Amino acid sequence: MTRSFPDGFLWGVSTSAYQVEGAVEADGRVPSIWDVYSHTPGKIDGGGTGDVACDHYRRWENDLDLIASLNASAYRFSLAWPRLFTPGERRGWDHYDRLIDGLLGRGIEPVVTLYHWDLPQALEDTGGWLNRDTAERFAEHAARCFDAYGDRVGWWLTINEPWIVGLLGYLLGLHAPGYEGDLRGEVTVFHHLLLAHGRAVQEFRVGANPGRIGLAPNLMPHYPLTGSGADGEAAWGSEGYVNRWFLDAIFRGRYPDDQRERYEAQAGPLDFVRDGDLETIAEPTDFLGVNYYAPRWLEAVPGDTPWPWRVVVPDGLETTGGFTDGVPQTEAGTPIVPFGLTDLLVGIHRDYGDVPLLITENGAVFGDEPGEDGRVRDERRVEFVRTHVGAVLEAIDRGAPVVGYCHWSLMDNFEWKLGYGQRFGLVHVDYDTLARTVKDSGRYFARLAAANALLEPEEAAL
């Protein structure tokens, strides 16, 4: 049975600048923290860097044709701050001008991320996100972007995944700038990223821009491992760390007390939070970007540090989330749980009200390569798209105001620490020739986008 989406539903594909653009020395671009990090020996699996990536900076016109061939009505990409950093240098600005006009000319909505992790190294040298001043520098940069493109961009995202920036960049040492074990640094960075978000929203309103603006956090529905009260508390606690820290701040103007207490016990007083900051952070937004990959299952571990819980891999476990055996996983080991997306969207609507929800990322690693006939038969990704798009429909049926679905990613690309080993694309990229090949999942996505409906793969006649 065909099930339709609301009129005007956005069907998007997502990328970010450092992961696809390459051309790192073109047109006056300055180095970013990811150039420095990826060029540090031993940091990236397989030794990859973003120097060439998919060469999207040069091949943008062909890539826009490719996006149009997927019937996408939206393209989420990020503006590389390092290309827009040097006063008087226009070439980077001109590039994004052409990209935006090229999208609009093809009937595709630009969904523009202002910060997708490629901080200019010059700002890292003055403390990066640990330095409150970086939030102000970001607000100035955002204002310039609104001046340049605000007349044509309908959808703006301020910051991509602040939680991941702090966790992987300051606590786990797995992402640029590569600090490890700095819990106070993590929460400081969370705060400055949120402040940067709020200041950018203020700048957006000053400019009377016609578009909409929001944050793009990664969010996870939480499930306790068992029905025990302790596991229930662990799930609630972890939700405070991952979701509520950001959503309570932007929608309610406060940090959740429980997580604030846990931070203060481990990392000292949060005295970098100044009077008025939370009002700035809670500057009203127009929609919420939602990056969804998987849920989290929690088991209580009293006394563990920094947090009294453990994230459990649910393989073969029965949980209150309803799992039985053998949860399927992507090639990256991420559990595939479409109903988690429904739960997440319905839960955000229940807890935070009628804010429109735009799925800004959702996708999976499957390494399928072209067969002898050149076709990439990535049935597992077709199934992933089918079930997750179905989960979005289910959430809409249950009242969640979901306005679009952007798949991660348009094409295989540089997956940060994991290098080029993990393929997320609807389009295959041959890293020797940089040739693009639309996968079966890309064809399937194109059929759904054209129909504005969920079709079975057989109906879509792949």
416 forms part of the interface with ligand FCB (CB under 6 A):
yes
Asked if 361 is an active-site residue, the reply is yes
Query: In the complex with ligand FCB, which residue's Cβ is closer, 32 or 160?
Result: 160
Q: Build a one-symbol-per-residue string for 279-308: x at contacts with ligand FCB by CB under 6 A, - elsewhere.
A: ------------x-----------------
415 forms part of the interface with ligand FCB (CB under 6 A):
yes
State the nearest-atom distance from the C-beta of 163 to ligand FCB, in Å.
9
Q: Give the count of alpha carbons within 13 A of 146, CB side only.
A: 25
Residues 424, 413: contact at Cβ < 8 Å? yes
User: How far is residue 173's CA from residue 23's CA, in Å, rounded to a whole number?
Assistant: 26
From the list 157-165, 269-277, 399-407, 433-441, the region that binds ligand FCB by CB under 6 A is 157-165
Query: In the complex with ligand FCB, which residue's Cβ is closer, 197 or 262?
Result: 197
Asked if 180 is an active-site residue, the reply is no
From the list 37-45, 253-261, 301-309, 408-416, the region that binds ligand FCB by CB under 6 A is 408-416
- Within positions 194 to 233, which residues make up the interface with ligand FCB, using CB under 6 A? 218
Query: In the complex with ligand FCB, which residue's Cβ is closer, 220 or 282?
Result: 220
In three-state form (DSSP H/G/I as H, E/B as E, the rest C), the secondary structure along the chain is CCEECCCCCEEEEECCHHHHCCCCCHHHCCCEHHHHHHCCCCCCHHHCCCCCCCCCCCCHHHHHHHHHHCCCCEEEEECCHHHCCCCCCCHHHHHHHHHHHHHHHCCCEEEEEEECCCCEHHHHCCCHHHCCHHHHHHHHHHHHHHHHHCCCCCEEEEEECHHHHHHHHHHECCCCCCCECCHHHHHHHHHHHHHHHHHHHHHHHHCCCCCEEEEECECCCEEECCCCHHHHHHHHHHHHHHHHHHHHHHHHCCCCHHHHHHHHHHHCCCCCCCCCHHHHHCCCCCCEEEECCCCEEEEECCCCCCCCEEECCCCCCCCCCCCCCCCCECCCCCECCHHHHHHHHHHHHHHHCCCCEEEEECCCCCCCCCCCCCCCCCHHHHHHHHHHHHHHHHHHHCCCCEEEEEEECCECCCCHHHCCCCCCCCEEECCCCCCEEECHHHHHHHHHHHHCEECCCCCCCC
Q: How far is CA 211 from CA 110, 149, 357, in A?
A: 11, 10, 15
From the list 158-166, 192-200, 222-230, 295-303, the region that binds ligand FCB by CB under 6 A is 158-166
From the list 60-68, 160-168, 177-185, 187-195, the region that binds ligand FCB by CB under 6 A is 160-168
- Of the candidates 124, 161, 203, 283, the residue annotated as catalytic is 161
State the nearest-atom distance from the C-beta of 279 to ligand FCB, in Å.
28
424 forms part of the interface with ligand FCB (CB under 6 A):
yes
From the list 3-11, 156-164, 174-182, 239-247, the region that binds ligand FCB by CB under 6 A is 156-164
Query: In the complex with ligand FCB, which residue's Cβ is closer, 244 or 423?
Result: 423
- Within positions 338 to 397, which residues make up the interface with ligand FCB, using CB under 6 A? 361
164 forms part of the interface with ligand FCB (CB under 6 A):
yes
State the nearest-atom distance from the C-beta of 361 to ligand FCB, in Å.
6
- Of the candidates 361, 383, 394, 415, the residue annotated as catalytic is 361
Number of residues that bind ligand FCB (CB under 6 A): 12
State the nearest-atom distance from the C-beta of 263 to ligand FCB, in Å.
23
Residues 299, 234: contact at Cβ < 8 Å? yes
Query: In the complex with ligand FCB, which residue's Cβ is closer, 332 or 453?
Result: 332
State the nearest-atom distance from the C-beta of 39 to ligand FCB, in Å.
19
160 forms part of the interface with ligand FCB (CB under 6 A):
yes
16 forms part of the interface with ligand FCB (CB under 6 A):
yes
State the nearest-atom distance from the C-beta of 116 to ligand FCB, in Å.
6
118 forms part of the interface with ligand FCB (CB under 6 A):
no
Residues 146, 84: contact at Cβ < 8 Å? no
State the nearest-atom distance from the C-beta of 290 to ligand FCB, in Å.
12
Name the residues that contact ligand FCB, by CB under 6 A: 16, 19, 160-161, 164, 218, 291, 361, 408, 415-416, 424
Write out the catalytic residue numbers. Answer: 161, 361
